[in-house]
Amino acid sequence: MTATQRPTRASLQSAALAAPRPAPRQSPRPTPLRVVAPGERTPQARLRRRRLTVFGLAALAVLGLFGLVAEHTVLAQQQFRLASLQSQAAAEQAQNQALQLQVAQLQSPSRIVSEARTKLGMVPPAGITYLVPGQKGAKVKGQPTPAPPPSHTSSSSSSSSSSSSSSSSSSSSASAAP
């Protein structure tokens, strides 16, 4: 064939038939079977076992790292909670001290006396009378004196109503006693 001629189909087929064919692939010969001793492993089994061991150790290392990260996260959260509780405890202690001071002020005798005089209208007694029990009856030591009237500046209608109610209760008790 020349360069100007075109190859025909028949010439291509004959050229393909004449070309040397590659030798068919022969599969490797199977190894002959033999008796395996107990505990002996084949090379493939050893390789498989080695891969499994490496994979297992890698997975264990990754799980260990995740465990450490989780533990660190929980520890950080607990530290924040602890700091919050400590600040709350400090605030509660300050409030407790303020309340104890308030209780001490409210329990002071001078405050109680001033409240009794201003709000309740109480007055100190003019004298103190003691009753001493005896064989023939009670003896009175000292001179009993009536208490002075309250000196608070409330409306006269409330004081007159309280005095009228106390006088009516005393008259009813006197009339009830024979």
Residues facing 138 on adjacent strands? 133
Burial of residue 122 (CB within 10 Å: 0-12, 13-18, 19+) is middle
At 13, the pLDDT band (50, 70, 90 cuts) reads low
Identify the weakest region by mean pLDDT among 3-7, 119-123, 126-130, 166-170.
166-170
pLDDT at 160 over 50: no
* Mean pLDDT of all residues in 120-145: 74
pLDDT at 111 over 80: yes
- For residues 49 and 39, the answer to whether their CB atoms sit within 8 Å is no
**What Å distances lie between residue 116 and 59, 96, 145, 147, 163, CA to CA?**
81, 28, 21, 15, 19
* Mean pLDDT of all residues in 127-146: 70
- For residues 147 and 127, the answer to whether their CB atoms sit within 8 Å is no
